[in-house]
Amino acid sequence: MKIFKSKRSTNAYPARNRKIFGIWMIGVTLLILGGFVLRFSFVATVGEVDSNNLAKQRQKQYQTDTVLQAKRGAILDKTGNVIAEDSNTYTIFAILDKQSKDSNNKPDYVVDKAKTAKILSRYLAMSEAKILARLTPGKNMYQVEFGTPGTKLSLAIKKQIDAEKLPGIHFRETPSRLYPNGVFASHVIGLAQAQGKSTSLTGVMGLEKQFNTVLAGTNGYRRSRTDAYGYKLPNAKTNLKTAVNGGTVYTTLDSGLQAYLETLMTDVQNKYEPKGMTAVLMSAKTGQILAATQRPTFDASTGEGLGDMWRDSLVEDNYEPGSVMKIVTLAAAIQSGKYHPNDYYQSGSIKLDGGTVNDWRTGGWGSIPLSKAFPLSSNVGMVKIEQAMGAGIWKQYLDKFRFGQKTGITLPGETSGHISFERPLDQAITSFGQGIEVNVMQMLQAISAVSNGGKMLKPQIVSKVISQNGKTKVYKPEVVGQPISKETAAQVIDAMRHVVNDEDGTGVAYKMPGVDLAVKTGTGQIASPQGGYLTGDSNYTFSVAGVAPASDPQYVLYLAMKQPQKMTEPAESILASIFKPMMQRALDTTANGAVTDDTNTATIPAVTNAALTTAQDSLKQANFDVATVGTGNKVVQQLPTSGTKALHGSRVLLLTNGAMTMPDLTGWSKSDVLKFVQLTGKKFKLVGDGFVTQQSIAAGTLLGDTSGTIKFKQQ
């Protein structure tokens, strides 16, 4: 018999089940609602959600903050001429989309491309054809830019282009740093750049980095209460915090001397192509650096050349100084009483500690007195002097002259150098500048003891700093030691006179008629990555240190040149082409910066930022010739700089705010052409010496990125 199960057997109590499910749902719902109530109660009581204060968030939602940008402080030369200051640059762009309209519903795109290209070619270093090509791309584009020529435009150029009222032409503003002198102690002054998305500038090298906190300033803000549409609420207060502009840094640099040194260095760089050069002019009695530069260098206004060398070679590079170090060796020997100038020694070579020290002249000079070792720059003689002192005394004097220690000059990244002094051979070769690594400022500091009557001066690049709150800190000359006496210093100076005045002295190439000069030359070997030293006539660091006038030192000039690739003349002649005119220019200036009286000279007036016609009239009235570069009507840079003393009839170059065009250089001297190259930042191949006879770029041609050739001939 078949048994059938009733449906109630599987769901016997449907009403009860529904009731249980309903109760369960009500419980869950009440639990969730309770959670919401508790959460809302907590939020209402505490006023926070996920650690965010709701009141503050609400205020933020209905307030507008505007950043008030602080102005970065300026870097000035010793007399207040601007070296670096705050500015804005502009990038030009063109809208091509024909749907674009301005607020008056007028076309806001380039309507007449040919006309626009023609007008823009007057202001950009770009041909009309290239501009037109940019305005006529092969595909639909909303807007276009104009590459490098369309960037970093000055406010003056922007205003002139705006005045043309060209539809569709706009500018993007970028906070920038203005370096009006271009190549001008570039690694010393340094750079300030925007970092990441920040609009504020930060010093990334040189004095810009060293004094970034002083220069940067503090941004302010304007805070207003607004409604949802951004309109200010009635009776709402505006909170204002005024921006505090950055302070000011005064350097010790003399703009006239600095610009002249840059010109001389550029000439040597172009002609002989050394892998590196440094040059520093220092006041002998204060330690103040009046001019300082290096090669490779860069144009701070454009950044051109920055990729070739980021380091400041004056403080960040170690090198073996070579025979200039003999100044210190002689000073130490005299001061210690261990110098016996009348003792004879056999020059040429000497064996020591399993090695051999050779003189630069093969075979030497025979048996000669130690008094000849210094003017002849005999390595063997210096070893004999070091041996007479003994390693202990010699090391004491190396310490007294503060080798192996940073000078503390106010520049970032200074190295401390290194002294190898473990073996007798190491100790001996330091006497002629090998086995010891220094930086340029350490050498200048040591030489200052000789030029300043025994008192050693700390090299100084900053004269004073004015902070954001107006407080002034003055950097006074600082004596950091007295390793030798006044009498010893005088004897060393006299020995340096023999270097330049004796017929067989190594410094005869530096002799200057009518100048009481004391010098010491140097030829330092360069260590090879494979061990030992490089060989070859040009694989040295050639150097010279000079003091003038020797009877009452006012200036110390120290030059070093590494591995000239086109060594068509002796190293001494190459360095002398910088040393002699630079020292003469310095000697024409008194210690306080005033130029000596001369009826044939005049002071170049300041015409930067003046109208072109006004500037030309001012210079002509001062009896100077004027050359103009550019199509603008306002002067943005001049060379030589204002305050420089120059001969009547000499040429002053003016760079205007218009597009740069090639002037007629016929008859220009090479020094004037070097000023032109420095002013424009363009690359030219200079052939020959004397005066310009030929130029490959015709006068009036727009100066783009193409380099040209300028030929010279002696008259």
Question: Which residue, 280, 357, 285, is CA-closest to 323?
Answer: 357
3-state secondary structure of 398: helix
Cβ distance 468 to 246 under 8 Å? yes
The most confident of the ranges 16-25, 117-126, 296-305, 329-338 is 329-338
Would you please indicate which residues are annotated as catalytic (active-site) residues?
323
pLDDT digits (tens, 9 = 90+) for 192-224: 988 776 668 999 999 999 999 999 988 887 676
Residue 6 has what pLDDT?
Answer: 46
Closest CA to 316 of 431, 255, 395, 407: 407
What pLDDT shows up at residue 529? 81
For residues 79-106, give the mean pLDDT: 88
Q: State how far Cα 343 lies from the chain centre.
A: 49
Using pLDDT thresholds of 50, 70 and 90, give the confidence band for residue 36.
confident
Place of tokens 């030192």: 553
pLDDT tens for residues 351-367?
A: 998 889 999 998 999 99
Q: Which range has the worst mean pLDDT, 216-230, 440-454, 691-705?
A: 216-230
Q: What is the pLDDT of residue 320?
A: 95
Can you spell out the DSSP letters for 277-312? Answer: EEEEEEETTT-BEEEEEEES---TTT-TTGGG--S-
Q: SS3 string of 420-435?
A: CCCCHHHHHHHHHCCC
Burial class (CB in 10 A: 0-12, 13-18, 19+), 304: middle
CATH 3.30.70.2110 fits 67-251, yes or no: yes
DSSP code at position 8: G
601-713 carries CATH number 3.30.10.20: yes
Percent of the chain exceeding pLDDT 90 equals 54
Give the range among 48-52, 171-175, 201-205, 623-627 with minimum mean pLDDT.
Answer: 48-52
Task: Quickly state the pLDDT bin for 47 (edges 50, 70, 90).
Answer: low
Q: What are phi and psi of 159, to 5 degrees?
A: -65, -40
Classify domain 255-587 at the CATH class level.
Answer: alpha beta
